[in-house]
Amino acid sequence: IEGRGLFARASIAAGEAVSRLGGRLVDDPSMRAVALEASRAGGRYSALQVDEGLHLLMAWDDPASRGNHSCDPNLWMAGATTSVARRDIEAGEEVTTDYALFTADEAWSMPCACHSAACRGTVRGSDWRRPELQARYRGHFTPFLERRIEAIRR
């Protein structure tokens, strides 16, 4: 998508760790400032929420920030910053994740271009609330979203 993406150099077995993300931890106000500056300047940023009020801001030139979304991904989360293969992945296949696994910004959305049979058309920061996604990805959201989901179930 837009010339960016991550592709497997070799076959990856289901359950194998694929990436451990790193970057700078920022709080909500700092994250909002980054997003506002990026929108004003036409720039881009890559971040994921790792806990309540805490985000991992990754360098835009970091290859890990090039991971694309899919509504039927081949990666999911194992902790706050580690992605693992959801199924076997062939060499040369694009590796993708569902942004619902780590995104909780209720105001955020983007058009989806994954073209999978499960495509939602629009990806939203509230998608983690969808019962079908909670069932499909149970145990593989980031820990703070797992806690939110568990609180809803009570």
Average of per-residue pLDDT across 80-84: 95
Radius of gyration of the chain (CA): 15
The single-letter code of the amino acid at 77 is M
Q: Where are the domains of the chain?
A: 6-153
Alpha-carbon gap, residue 36 to 24, rounded angstroms: 18
Residue-wise pLDDT tens digits, 111-139: 999 999 999 999 999 999 999 999 999 99
Q: Token pair for residue 106? A: 């209720």
Alpha-carbon gap, residue 99 to 48, rounded angstroms: 9
How are beta strands 109-111 and 122-124 bridged, if at all? antiparallel
Q: With cut-offs at 50, 70 and 90, classify the pLDDT of residue 66.
A: confident
pTM of this structure:
0.89
| % of residues, the chain, pLDDT over 90 | 74
Q: Which pLDDT score, from 0 to 100, does residue 3 have?
A: 56
Question: What DSSP string runs through 50-64?
Answer: EETTEEEEEPTTSGG
Average of per-residue pLDDT across 87-93: 97
- CA-nearest of 69, 75, 72 to 113 is 69
Question: What DSSP string runs through 90-140?
Answer: -TTPEEEE-GGGT---TT-EEE-----TT--SEEETTGGG-HHHHHHHTT-
Supply the mean pLDDT for the chain. Answer: 92
Q: Which pLDDT score, from 0 to 100, does residue 2 have?
A: 53
Residue-wise pLDDT tens digits, 19-39: 999 899 999 999 989 988 888
> Which 8-state DSSP code applies to residue 43?
-
Question: What DSSP string runs through 75-92?
Answer: EEESSSSEEEESS-B-TT
Select 6-153's CATH number: 2.30.30.60, 2.60.40.1190, 2.170.270.10, 3.40.50.1100: 2.170.270.10
Greatest Cα-to-Cα distance within the chain, rounded to the nearest angstrom: 43
